Amino acid sequence: MSEKPPSLDDLRRKIDEIDDSIHDSLMRRTELARQIALAKGSNAVIMRPGREARVLRRLVGRHEGAFPKPIVCRIWREVISVFTRLQGPFAAAAFAPEDGSDLSLLARDHFGSLTPITGFGSEMGVLRAVSDGKANIGILPLPESDRGTPWWPKLARSGKASPKIIARLPFAPLDGGRRIGPEAVVVSLAEPEESGDDRGYLIVELDQAVSRGALKVLLSDAGFEVRNTQAWVDAPDRTLHLVEVEGFLASDDSRVTALVTETEPVSHAWAVGSFAVPLLAEELANNPVLSAGSESGGDGDAANAGAS
């Protein structure tokens, strides 16, 4: 005789048990986060962008079933953001012009519902908020050379009050990695952190005109794998190049120091940050495909099993 299929009441009871288990795990995780905050001390860095990226990559890599991977990432980003705020004050500044893309929405998706986010009409306003300590992080548009005066030359300075690029958004796009919406970088006074799959930014100042091809060769000889460059003529005798390179780039990378001391015509060079490479569309794709009934609503009880 075949076993009697479980009733709806049995299935709902099992869902309630799973919900309780998830809730219990969140409460246990909260207590562990409290212990971590105590172990770190009051002056510890509360944001760990490299570790956060590793956590999401691990979860996406082990995920099975029809539940969308981008939503898994969204849930964990919310959890991570809550526990970050439990360790200390945490606020964001976002570029939000009246006539352009409002990056505060992108910031909200990544840094959670409870994180205070202040919008600024200029990139300089965002950078000032971070430099002055009024915001822990700033969300700025991707570096561009064709949108007027760029913001990235302001990173070409040393000192603890100089923001650095620490992340790129969106890390796990809700559109499945197709990159339909706006993209951004995150800047902070905190140092970037290696995630295992990273890219870095450096700014190079030249004291004479050099073609993009020649600059790429110069940097390649210095040990950098160049992905992209942007140029900005800051003054008649000062040209800055923003260079995106493969791999993590620490502030004290010896290759950056060697560029200035050993390479002509480089007069100055700054490591200005690194970011974890965002998840790709193929990494966010689910192998199982939702049935037509599930996607369109199908049977009322089956479609609403998660809530009823």
Average pLDDT, integer, range 95-100? 88
Do both 169 and 78 map to the same domain? yes
Query: What's the confidence (pLDDT) of residue 87?
Result: 83
Tell me if 107 is assigned to some domain. yes
Do both 105 and 125 map to the same domain? yes
Residue 250 pLDDT > 70: yes
Tell me if 13 is assigned to some domain. no
CB atoms near residue 168 (< 10 Å): 21
Please tell me whether the overall predicted TM-score, pTM, comes out greater than 0.85 for this model. yes
Which CATH number characterizes residue 201's domain?
A: 3.30.70.260
Q: CA triplet 72, 91, 33: central angle to 5 degrees? A: 55
Residue 62 pLDDT > 60: yes
DSSP category for residue 180: -
Q: Give the tens place of pLDDT for each residue, 27-51.
A: 999 998 888 878 877 666 678 999 9
Query: What's the confidence (pLDDT) of residue 295?
Result: 43
Do both 133 and 50 map to the same domain? yes
Do both 162 and 234 map to the same domain? no
Do both 150 and 160 map to the same domain? yes
Instruction: Tell me how far apart the terminal alpha carbons of the chain are, to the nearest angstrom.
Output: 31
Tell me if 266 is assigned to some domain. yes
**Distance from C-alpha of 278 to C-alpha of 287, rounded to nearest angstrom:** 20
Query: What's the confidence (pLDDT) of residue 209?
Result: 80
Which CATH number characterizes residue 141's domain?
A: 3.40.190.10
Average pLDDT, integer, range 220-239? 88
Radius of gyration of the chain (CA): 23
Do both 166 and 232 map to the same domain? no
Do both 237 and 283 map to the same domain? no
Query: What's the confidence (pLDDT) of residue 200?
Result: 97
H or E stretch covering 22: helix 8-40
Tell me the residue range of the domain where 173 lies: 45-193+278-303
* Mean pLDDT over each residue of the chain, to the nearest integer: 87
Average pLDDT, integer, range 53-73? 96
Whether the CA torsion 12, 113, 61, 67 is positive or negative: it is positive
**Distance from C-alpha of 102 to C-alpha of 262, rounded to nearest angstrom:** 43
Number of folded domains that form the chain:
2
H or E stretch covering 21: helix 8-40
**Distance from C-alpha of 35 to C-alpha of 25, rounded to nearest angstrom:** 15
**Distance from C-alpha of 209 to C-alpha of 241, rounded to nearest angstrom:** 11
Do both 183 and 230 map to the same domain? no
Residue 304 pLDDT > 70: no
Average pLDDT, integer, range 276-293? 75
Tell me if 40 is assigned to some domain. no
Closest Cα partner for 63 from 71, 21, 280?
A: 71
Do both 116 and 184 map to the same domain? yes
